[in-house]
Structure 1
Amino acid sequence: MKPSSNPFELVLNQLGLEKSDAIVVGDSARRDLGGAMSAGIDCILVGGAEHPAALKSF
């Protein structure tokens, strides 16, 4: 389960992509960005201005 990096790494492997070929767009700093960052994938938080407290953990 997210925020584990495993789901992100699994999808990359299934698609035959490198981490540098991907970007994760998510609305949860902890689940989406946390997992992507731990997998080494660039990421974008949608609605970050609406959740400023979530950004403090990064």
Structure 2
Amino acid sequence: LPVERVGEEIYRMLTIGSPPVRVALAPSYFFDWWLPSSLPKRWVDAAFRSRLGLKLLPRKKS
């Protein structure tokens, strides 16, 4: 993606009133945008977490 497009999109997200939780700047609509947006957010987060080798922090007991 062109750097100008990424910069414009970041500026737009920072200046609108209530930005979306996630914004995908993707060249492939189906695999990079439609599929992740149709899955539950926790599933997508878990997929990224596993690809990056991250682990969940334990929940604090109240």
> Scaled by the length of structure 1, what TM-score is found?
0.26
RCO higher in 1 or 2 (8 Å CA, sep ≥ 6)? 1
Q: Which has the higher strand share?
A: 1
